Amino acid sequence: MKVPDSAVQITDDSLTIHLTNVPVVDAFTFPPPTQDVPGISPFQLIPATVSFDITYTKTGNRRTIRPGSDDPLSPLNWAGKMWDARNHGTFSVRYNNNSFSESGTFDSVSSSGVNFGEMGTERNGVFVSREEEDGNNDEQEEAQSSLPLKPTQTNQVAATGTAKPAAKWVLLKGRVPVKVTH
């Protein structure tokens, strides 16, 4: 779902999101049945709301991801600079009919180990194919850089962007300001 930019705060090495009363549905199974299936359905959706705060924090070294495939369906057809990330936060959930509610905390680090997470900057789809063709991509520009993700970094990109007023796909080469909330 789309949320206000202000719901997310980005610092040098972390990202925090705060959301309240996000509408969700409880479908009981994943993936959801497409029709009633004995033993799985009846297909039932229960409206609920979830509130949570989560902070993702970078750990370890940067991984520079370059497209590993040109197959648009491949999981490796993207590029970016990613770090492993841990997370922690709080949550609450409530059925809209008030028949069920709970609250608690979560953490990527538990007694059973560390759950996977990651954060960074990335681009996929037309932003990969177009920029790989042009040789104009962040990985080449910053291949040796170890700078962490910073709010000012995205602003800097915007400031040095080369957006052109022409229509069509020229727009894809433009870089728009990314609003960062402190």
Partner 1 sequence: MRSKLGYLLFLLLAFSVSLSAQIDPIPNLPVQPIPLPGGDILPPYGLFNQFFPGPPNATPFPFDPINADPQGITNFRGVTAMGYTSGMTDDKQFVVITDIRVYQGEYIGGETADAVNTAGATRSAHAHGTFVEI
Q: HSE on the CB side for 85, CA within 13 Å?
A: 22
User: Which of 3, 143, 159, 166 is the binder for partner 1 (CB under 8 A)?
Assistant: 3
Query: Is there binding between residue 176 and partner 1 (CB under 8 A)?
Result: yes
Find the binding residues for partner 1 in span 26-85 (CB under 8 A).
26-34, 37, 48, 50, 52, 54, 56, 63, 65, 68, 71-78, 80, 82, 85
Report the chain's C-alpha Rg in angstroms.
Answer: 20
Q: Tell me whether residue 116 or residue 144 sits nearer to partner 1 (CB atom).
A: 116
By CB under 8 A, tell whether 119 contacts partner 1: yes
Under the binding rule (CB under 8 A), the answer on residue 174 touching partner 1 is yes
Instruction: Classify the C-alpha dihedral 65-66-72-74 as positive or negative.
Output: negative
* The only residue of 39, 61, 97, 104 in contact with partner 1, by rule CB under 8 A: 104
- End-to-end CA distance of the chain: give it in Å, rounded: 22
Options 12, 25, 60, 136; binder of partner 1; rule CB under 8 A: 25
* Three-state DSSP class for residue 17: strand
Contact 44, 60 (CB under 8 A): no
Joined together, the tokens standing for residue 17 give 């999101």
135 contributes a contact to partner 1 by CB under 8 A: no
Considering the rule CB under 8 A, would residue 125 count as an interface residue with partner 1?
yes
Residue nearer to partner 1 on the CB measure, 5 or 141: 5
Nearer to partner 1, 42 or 68 (CB): 68
CA 30 to each of CA 41, 90, 140: distance values in angstroms, whole numbers, following the listed order? 11, 23, 40
